[in-house]
A and B are shown apart, each in its own frame.
Chain A
């Protein structure tokens, strides 16, 4: 849904994964911006109904861009700078008992 105005230079590119899929984005992007630049629209499901949601405000107030980063849930993607090798996961709805045990 978004595209970069400028071509990504190799020197500026950071590699990361979303749910195991390899992606690249520009150094300096936040996690939420990196996802948008890779065509990702929904980054979580809500805990109430399981509806898909994507980044909405990009300034840290709406909490729609919550994702799991390197195993830690409920991180605000729009406030966290992307880093090389980050493992990002879609935050799936309500926390399940199995997930807590794991």
Chain B
């Protein structure tokens, strides 16, 4: 592995460019490099691992029990990549992917404050997942963070919340984090479970499959450990963070009773959804996945998107978890090598077969988890009007509801024009799903009918200086010079 620290070290062209160094990106890069392809693995973070294996090579958390054995499995993915000739660029942001004139692609990248355009024959987007927005009153107060953020602080810096900590929401990660933080010595004063009780009704049909899944033992152990040791409250139906300049307490309703709990930190989590900004901006077709309840890029069995030459591997193409992400990266890399003519279709199929079988096994039981931990309507479309939905532009649920019903706004792009939601620096990542949900509710249609933001590059802010320093194309010059 050749680690690139400066933008000038990048080559003009790579056979394949992979975006994101989580499990999917790491295994795709290793697999492609082992097949003899020239590989660029670009990742925004300072070290490999993505979020699930965040700081796997650099974590200061020496006690292996704190993060658990599943975390340490990530090391093998990095070790495998290190043995290859792949180029790995940490701290490198890919802000654009677009087809070029040669049938390949042009990537816009920034590294160390400088931008470059490089070309690649094939693209694998392994941009992973993000936590689903959890809009409640007061969620913008300092001291309120996502559960994932606290986990990142723990993994990469060995930081533990120092005061009274409340963890709230639903999903397997909630239990995992509660256990990890407890093991690291955090003072957890409450774990508030927002899983709707009636979810069991919908999930039950998928239970037999789940009973055969690799998740079962792991998940049950996590949940039982967390429940035994920590102050759990289930059936939470309303939640608000309170305070003026920072969170000082939360108000929680469960079983028809409302109580106030004083706290110094509130960690929120209600599952993860694909990070779709880059694939959406690149023009890859998206659909609304009704089971996972999120917008998802449409991919085939080889994880090829609607744009030939762009594949999407890992959780960025639908949530499957870390193990499945690594397998999906492997399969996408084999298909990319085949598209480049380096291996035949028969070779691709033969090499992929065992990985595909393993992938099917690793996804077993996922549907049960998706249905069981589907967030409650009240935490997807906040009922309290004052709740901020777009954190960047400070647009509230009440404004969005009013604009949808009274002005008849039917889609998120029109909403953006009216209210500026989605136009701040996060580019809709933290408000998109909620805006869609509120519009769907106002017009009594499904989120699928409402659609999603039409995103455009650059998908991450770059400076004017970076843009201006890029070599101008002939078309760009013609557009402005008379």
Q: Mark A residues whose CB is within 8 Å of B.
A: 1-6, 26, 28-30, 33, 36-37, 39, 41-42, 46, 48-49, 51-64, 66, 74, 78-79, 81
Complex partner residue of A41 from B143, B156, B158, CB under 8 angstroms = B143
Q: Which residues of B contact A (CB under 8 A)?
A: 44-46, 51, 58, 60-62, 66, 91, 130-131, 140-146, 148-150, 152-154, 156-163, 184-185, 245-246, 264-265, 275, 391-394, 424-426, 429-430, 460-461
* 21 A-B pairs (CB sep. < 8 Å): A2-B160, A4-B160, A5-B184, A6-B62, A26-B157, A26-B158, A28-B157, A30-B157, A36-B157, A36-B159, A42-B246, A49-B394, A51-B140, A52-B245, A52-B246, A55-B145, A56-B391, A58-B148, A63-B392, A64-B391, A79-B45
B435 to chain A, nearest CB (A): 16
CA distance A29 to B159 in the complex (A): 10
Chain B residues near A33 (CB-CB < 8 A): 153, 156-157, 159
**Does A57 lie within 8 Å of B149, measured CB to CB?**
yes
Q: Are B149 and A4 in contact (CB under 8 A)?
A: no
Known contacts A41-B246, A58-B149; can you find 14 more A-B pairs with CB under 8 A?
A: A1-B264, A1-B265, A2-B159, A3-B160, A28-B58, A51-B140, A52-B245, A59-B45, A59-B130, A61-B130, A61-B426, A62-B391, A62-B429, A74-B425
B44 x A63 contact (CB < 8 A): no
Main secondary structure of the interface of A (DSSP, over half): loop
B245 to A, closest residue via Cβ: A52
**How near does chain B come to A95, taking the closest CB pair, in angstroms?**
13
In contact, A4 and B145 (Cβ under 8 angstroms): no
A57, B131: Cβ atoms closer than 8 Å: yes
Complex contacts, B51 vs chain A, CB 8 Å:
59
Known contacts A54-B143, A62-B429, A2 near B392 by CB under 8 Å: no
Asked if A5 meets B153 with Cβ closer than 8 Å, knowing A56-B144, A59-B51, the reply is no
User: A2-B159, A66-B425 known; A81 and B245 CB under 8 Å?
Assistant: no
The CA of A56 and the CA of B54, in the complex, are separated in Å by: 17
Asked whether, in the complex, the Cβ of B394 is within 8 Å of the Cβ of A48, the reply is yes
Residues of B contacting A48 with CB < 8 Å?
A: 393-394
Residue with the highest number of chain A CB atoms closer than 10 Å, among B62, B149, B162: B149
Select one of A41, A46, A63, A81 contacting B394, CB under 8 A: A46
B173–chain A nearest beta-carbon distance, Å: 13
Closest A residue to B59 by beta carbon equals A28
The answer on a CB contact under 8 Å between B156 and A56 is: no
B46 A56 Cβ-Cβ under 8 A: no
* Cα separation A1 to B245 with both chains bound (whole Å): 14
